Amino acid sequence: MALTFTEFQALVDEGFNTIALTETLQLDRDTPVSIYQRFDDGRAFCLLESAALGDDTGRYSFIGLDRQWRLHSLGDDVRLEGRDDAPRADGAMATLRSLLATYRTHAPADLPSFFGGAVGFVTYDYVRQLEDLPRDDDPHPWPDVDFSFPGSVLICDHLRHSTTVVVLATVAEGGSPRDAYDVATAHLESIVATLLAPAPQTDPDVERMVATAPTQRARIDVRAIASRLSNFTLEQYRDVVVRAREYIFAGDIFQVVPSQQFTRPTTVTPLNLYRVLRALNPSPYMYLVDTGDSQIVGASPEMLVRVENREVTTRPIAGTRPRGANEERDRELEAEILGDDKEIAEHVMLVDLGRNDVGRVSVPGTVRVQRLAHVERFSHLMHLVSQVSGRLRDGLDAFDAFDALFPAGTLSGAPKVRAMQIIDEFEPVRRGPYGGALGYFSLRGDADFAITIRTVALRDATATVQAGGGIVADSQPDFEYQECISKASAPLLALEIVDPLASGPLQKT
């Protein structure tokens, strides 16, 4: 139930300047996608979901509406659109931290971790601000950091089949609480009216495309498409693997994660792409974020970092097999990966790296491995997954935890800095979103970020997909090339279904 003005004024008198007004509706016939479509007129700019149903991770989906401001940066050039009174700090992430600190927020205690805050992404190249790595020139760079603040958030609760509308009423310094309350209340009523109105007309062709997407795997030769679009030939990638092994044998590194980039022109509609990718590759992290000049659409299996109630968690993924054609074959492949000494050794090494990263910001003695090397199945692949957590030290916050974990060792290598220097040597273009992170910093001080993999980056009528694999001493070049192709297959297949290449889809024979 929304607050009365008397209750609102009392909270302002207590010192709160941002107060969440809420209303919960039972919308059991709607989905997060159908709700997003109601606001897909420029108001909705992010959709965050999870296929990990059955626990709190997958209980909620979030839709961000009504962008209040956007902060984006490239190197030392930090730009803030939509707020003139904002504090400035040294660098984009420090400025973002200062911005969020200006919100003294009150919200119902039963709301989930995210009901408001900064939503966006950090590209891999942000690491150049954290470590001694060159800031090489790029004629068309992605921003290092790109976050937006929604004035309203829709929280879809899959357990209760309800949707909670959250509108943040912010009282400016010296501003009128009555005006802030009236504007927010009217806005809340407008959103509720949109949710209760008849659903917008859908396109039958789009609905058919989404419904039949999983059946297209048998028709489209996505490996041939990937080979055609990659910025490496098989021979070139073989050379990368050979050179990586030379660095390993010389003692420079234990592992490095080079990648291939797949680029193609596109006129795809981001929401249609999201829906097809969601159908093909349901994952723990599914997202559509629209900055206005670019879009990120993805289905990532891997958490970079979560901070909730000052508990820091990361979930390294390393070790891959394709899914089998049936349950019996899946079990055979699970046994194979669990019995593969190379895969287990590589995984344990990256778990140790995760323990070290979590330990940098945790209370001594609180870091623990909660799960070690268990197999999780996804739509196309199965992976070895572990979970590491620790208790955040006093005086540190979610931003410190993010910097300690970024970038993931599973996307760089070990030791991290030397591995990233070698990646710069191997890869002909900057990574951009790939290998970075996407998620939120909440007004409660929590955070949740996926590693940006299994993702399509859209900008300037171009779609980019990227995938890599960890190279260790006994890696085989042809296998590593094909593993990259496998990891890129779901987003490339989604692109081909929604927006076939001009030359036509490559059919399997």
Name the residues annotated as catalytic.
383, 410, 434, 454, 470
Cβ atoms within 10 Å of 317's Cβ, excluding its own = 23
Contact (Cβ atoms closer than 8 angstroms) between residue 283 and residue 378:
yes
Best CA proximity match to 309, nearest among 404, 391, 380, 402: 391
Tokens of 59: 């209980």
User: Tokens 């859209």, residue?
Assistant: 458
Q: What is d(CA 406, CA 227) in angstroms, rounded to the nearest whole number?
A: 30
> Helices (H), strands (E): how many in the chain?
14, 22
Q: What is d(CA 396, CA 408) in angstroms, rounded to the nearest whole number?
A: 20
Strand partners, 156: 61, 163
Quick one: how far is CA 341 from the chain centroid?
Answer: 30
Best CA proximity match to 166, nearest among 192, 148, 147: 192
Length of the chain as a residue count? 509
Three-state SS string over 359-384 comes to: HCCECCCCCEEEEEEEEEECCCEEEE
Kindly report the backbone phi and psi dihedral angles of residue 116, in degrees, each rounded to the nearest multiple of 5, phi listed first. Answer: 175, 155
Strand partners, 290: 295
437 Cβ contact list (under 8 Å, min separation 6): 121, 122, 304, 305, 402, 406, 407, 408, 449, 450, 451, 452
User: Tokens 């707020």, residue?
Assistant: 83
Q: What is d(CA 234, CA 216) in angstroms, rounded to the nearest whole number?
A: 26
CA dihedral 423, 424, 430, 433 (to 10 degrees): 40
Q: Cα–Cα distances in Å, from 237 out to 59, 145, 247, 430, 480?
A: 41, 30, 15, 17, 9
- What's the distance, Cα to Cα, between the start and end of the chain in Å? 59
